[in-house]
Structure 1
Amino acid sequence: MPKVIKQGNKKIYDGYKSFQYLDAGEDYKEYELSKENDRVEPYVYPVSEDHEELVQTILEEDNIISMHEHTFVMPENLNEFYEFRRQGRDWTGYEALSQSGLDVIFENFMDGTAMVTSQAGWKWSDVIHDLGIRFSDIAHQDMVFKAERIADLYRAKKEGKIAFVAALESCTMIENELDRLDVLYGFGIRTMGIVYSEANQLGSGLRETRDGGLTVFGKQAVRRMNKLGITIDVSHSSDLTSLDTIEHSEKPVTINHSGARALWNSNRLKPDTVLKACAEKGGVIAIEAAPHTTITRNNLTHSIESFMEHFEYVANYAGIDHVAFGPDTLFGDHVSIHDLLTKQLSIKSSHGDNSFPKVKWVEGLENPAECLPNIIRWLVKKGYSREDIRKVVGGNILRVLEATWAK
């Protein structure tokens, strides 16, 4: 493996750590947190020196975007996780992000695991608390900033910063209150999933055995999100709810962290009918890397190779203009947290066939800091053109946001 050239597109980072404006032990309880970097042995996808030089040029010159991440740092001791969650305070991995090569990150917060008052998650007050605490921390530093307009997405690279797109994976917390969408937009939310696995007021999730599709209220919510400028996502929606949402939306819809069911029979992945409908509406499908999701019959062990097999399938089937990356990673032991939260996150019911070998982590795609550089290395090594790489690492996403956000 060649010596790695110094990582390009590093951000202007002053060493800030989350909540350093408060006093540990007095204002909040301290927990030992997972390492942001080097929690596991770092992995650099092997390429030639010439290819590595091109990788660094791409990182320096192009807009690099991850369409789905959770950039919080988990506690090292997962026996403390529920207690940690009830504190309602999450640390952001600023140092690692400064070296990630990312210009724009879609941050999905704690979603259904924002369990300040309930272990079932998705409570309105918990979600608002989660957003407020994280944004308070973000407001005390300068490298990461809340992106609310299209111009914010383009100025990030120019200023050596990272644009933080606030996202939620479900509309469950709005219950039957359409105006709560406006409230969330005011908080900075710019993309939302219709449903997270379990059915809600809007439609059916991928866990349901009877697929009822998008409800009447769901159609009203889709219209409101179109008017507000919230990008709609159907990653965790059932097949019929996904198709109904794509049909009823006046604007493109995303699948911001998933893969192709044709390669592995799992409800967590999308069938060709949904992939095709999403692309025909002008949307984008971003490939998921959370442990044990994007495996294939050819690559049963989850790795960057199985992940990129899903990418190539979607690129060939839906078109290179409609595929991107939404790795859905975090800072900490992702496999163990899935085991701990299997019920809350409907993981067991969405994996389908469980006859695959379990990995300790997904090599090369372990956290938000290492995913995109390794993905770009893979694309360069496989001979993808500079223009196609520019599309899939950011350009396709920007096109959809320009079509869905308020100007």
Structure 2
Amino acid sequence: MTWCAKAVGLGWGLALLGCGGLRPALEVPSAGGSLPDGRADLHVHVTMREALRPFFQGEPGGGELADAPGKRLVNQVEPEALRRAGVRLVLATVWPPNALRPGRSALGEALHQLALLEDFARRSPDFVLAHGAGEARRSFASGQLVLVPAVEGGEGIRRVEDVDLLYAAGARSITLVHFFDNSVADAADDQFGPLVGGLTNGGDGGLTPLGVEVVRRMMELGILIDVAHASDQTIVEVLALTEPAGVPVIYSHTGAGWADTRCLSAPLARRVGAGGGLIGIGLFRSPFQEVPAEERWEGFEPGTCDDDVAHWLHYTRQAGAEAVMLGSDFNSVIERARPGGSCARGMRHTGDLPALFAALEEHGVMREQLDGSAARVLRVLEAVEAHARPEAQRVARGRRPPREDLFPSNVP
């Protein structure tokens, strides 16, 4: 879920408010040869129905699809539409809502949702789950849409062993922090204020001592580190650990922060790109991301997907074309681009991606950059996995959840 539109969860309800000296990223030879062209999305909530039950309606492939950009809490992901748009690889993100499951810990909710994602992929004729770059490469040949499991928010991580449990459950990317500071790191400031249950809003701090251990353990396990939602200081401290090792990171979904917002800053975008990392462009409307006049073109229409195109071009200039790709945040509860501008129907769902991609090409984004984005994700995964220690992975796979009832029968 994005932080550049104000989304507030109140109990069970949901209210919408609108370096110098870098070591190059590891050069890893491809284990599976060349890939056919394919596009990627760094951030999609494939199984959001579980995270927001009973409010969210539909799931990918189930026939229910949002019919307007402002339609929230309705499925926005259609597998055939992804294929038509050329999207072949998705980081399938589970979001364990904080304190929304009485009787279940945040860690338990994340493990539960990862298990449900596995079940969804087994049931679906359209999707296949891949627990790493090797599996993903092999799955391309099947013609199915490849899902790499990811977790948004480290709220469930209270000890470094919890990272092992998430890895054993399938997670291959973890966002360290979400809307609020947690035991791992500080979140970006002003995501929506200290409104929920006394939780602390994002601050100016960085990684906690546990967070330093968590980042190191993620590198040992070959888990992709996602610094979306993190404070600038958190990102700086993460990069201080990953850059010397040549391990790339991602910022899975963002928009340009021209108005000094909590989005990825230009200097940090350059460091992410210089380290071989990736930046995903989120598709959402937000009053905090108004595109300045000097970034607009003749006929530019604010509030339409012209905004999304402008954000993409901004980060391309800052971090380089190889670093930038889609990070849609589809199936989150934000409002998307209204009809008009470069996308006549707005951004209702994945069926509107071809219009966005066409608009990007019209504004100078090379088709080869779009078509090669899945291969770039796989290269990043391979670079991260190359740093992993097999012994650490073996230990993680052998861990079991603590002796507590993470999935009590009285939880709906």
| TM-score for the superposition, normalised by structure 1 | 0.68
Give the residue type in structure 2 aligned to 1:404.
Answer: V
Residue 389 in structure 1 maps to residue 356 in structure 2: no
For residue 398 of structure 1, the aligned residue among 378, 381, 384 is 378
Which residue matches 2:43?
68
Q: Call closer, same or farther: CA 1:313–1:186 in 2, change over 3 Å.
A: same
Q: Call closer, same or farther: CA 1:130–1:161 in 2, change over 3 Å.
A: same
Any stretches of 5+ residues in structure 2 without a counterpart?
A: 1-34, 63-77, 190-200, 294-299, 389-412
Which residue matches 1:254?
250
Task: Please say if residues 290 and 329 of structure 1, whose CA atoms lie closer than 8 Å, have aligned partners that are also in contact.
Answer: no
Aligned-partner Cα distance in 2 for 1:190–1:209:
25
Give the residue type in structure 1 aligned to 2:374.
Answer: G
Residue 315 in structure 1 maps to residue 332 in structure 2: no
Task: Please say if residues 197 and 204 of structure 1, whose CA atoms lie closer than 8 Å, have aligned partners that are also in contact.
Answer: no
Task: Please say if residues 104 and 156 of structure 1, whose CA atoms lie closer than 8 Å, have aligned partners that are also in contact.
Answer: no
Residue 241 in structure 1 maps to residue 234 in structure 2: yes
Q: CA deviation at 1:359?
A: 5.5
Task: Please say if residues 250 and 272 of structure 2, whose CA atoms lie closer than 8 Å, have aligned partners that are also in contact.
Answer: yes
Which residue matches 1:291?
285
Q: What's the CA shift string for 1:104-140, capped at 9, x where partnerless?
A: 111112332683327xx97122222222223223222
Q: CA deviation at 1:74?
A: 5.2
Residue 380 in structure 1 maps to residue 361 in structure 2: yes
Residue 100 in structure 1 maps to residue 86 in structure 2: no
Which residue matches 1:193?
175
1:255 aligned counterpart, secondary structure: strand
Aligned-partner Cα distance in 2 for 1:228–1:202:
17
Q: Call closer, same or farther: CA 1:136–1:275 in 2, change over 3 Å.
A: same
Give the residue type in structure 1 aligned to 2:45.
Answer: H
Q: CA deviation at 1:220?
A: 0.7
Q: What's the CA shift string for 1:222-264, capped at 9, x where partnerless?
A: 1100010110011100011011111212311111101221x34
Aligned-partner Cα distance in 1 for 2:100–2:133:
32
Which residue matches 1:231?
224
Task: Please say if residues 190 and 405 of structure 1, whose CA atoms lie closer than 8 Å, have aligned partners that are also in contact.
Answer: no
Q: CA deviation at 1:364?
A: 3.6
Q: Call closer, same or farther: CA 1:220–1:190 in 2, change over 3 Å.
A: same
Residue 365 in structure 1 maps to residue 347 in structure 2: yes
Residue 217 in structure 1 maps to residue 210 in structure 2: yes
Give the residue type in structure 2 aligned to 1:69.
Answer: V
1:99 aligned counterpart, secondary structure: helix
1:274 aligned counterpart, secondary structure: helix
Identity across the alignment (%): 22
For residue 266 of structure 1, the aligned residue among 261, 268, 282 is 261
Aligned-partner Cα distance in 1 for 2:217–2:160:
7
Which residue matches 2:54?
84
Q: Call closer, same or farther: CA 1:114–1:162 in 2, change over 3 Å.
A: farther
Which residue matches 2:160?
178
Residue 116 in structure 1 maps to residue 116 in structure 2: no
Any stretches of 5+ residues in structure 1 without a counterpart?
A: 1-59, 76-80, 337-357
Aligned-partner Cα distance in 1 for 2:317–2:326:
15
Q: CA deviation at 1:389?
A: 3.1
Aligned-partner Cα distance in 2 for 1:284–1:204:
21
Residue 280 in structure 1 maps to residue 261 in structure 2: no
Q: What's the CA shift string for 1:248-292, capped at 9, x where partnerless?
A: 12311111101221x34321x111121122122221111111332
Count of aligned positions: 311
Q: Call closer, same or farther: CA 1:156–1:398 in 2, change over 3 Å.
A: same
Task: Please say if residues 252 and 327 of structure 2, whose CA atoms lie closer than 8 Å, have aligned partners that are also in contact.
Answer: yes
Q: CA deviation at 1:98?
A: 2.5
Q: What's the CA shift string for 1:185-208, capped at 9, x where partnerless?
A: 111101011111211111110134
Aligned-partner Cα distance in 2 for 1:302–1:206:
24
Task: Please say if residues 323 and 396 of structure 1, whose CA atoms lie closer than 8 Å, have aligned partners that are also in contact.
Answer: no
Give the residue type in structure 1 aligned to 2:280.
Answer: A
Aligned-partner Cα distance in 1 for 2:335–2:310:
21
2:94 aligned counterpart, secondary structure: coil
Residue 330 in structure 1 maps to residue 339 in structure 2: no
Which residue matches 2:143?
160
Which residue matches 1:146?
129
Structure of greater relative contact order (alpha carbons < 8 Å, 6+ residues apart): 2
Q: What's the CA shift string for 1:56-100, capped at 9, x where partnerless?
A: xxxx9511111101124659xxxxx97616xxx985312521331
| TM-score for the superposition, normalised by structure 2 | 0.67
Q: Which has the higher helix share?
A: 1
Task: Please say if residues 98 and 106 of structure 2, whose CA atoms lie closer than 8 Å, have aligned partners that are also in contact.
Answer: no
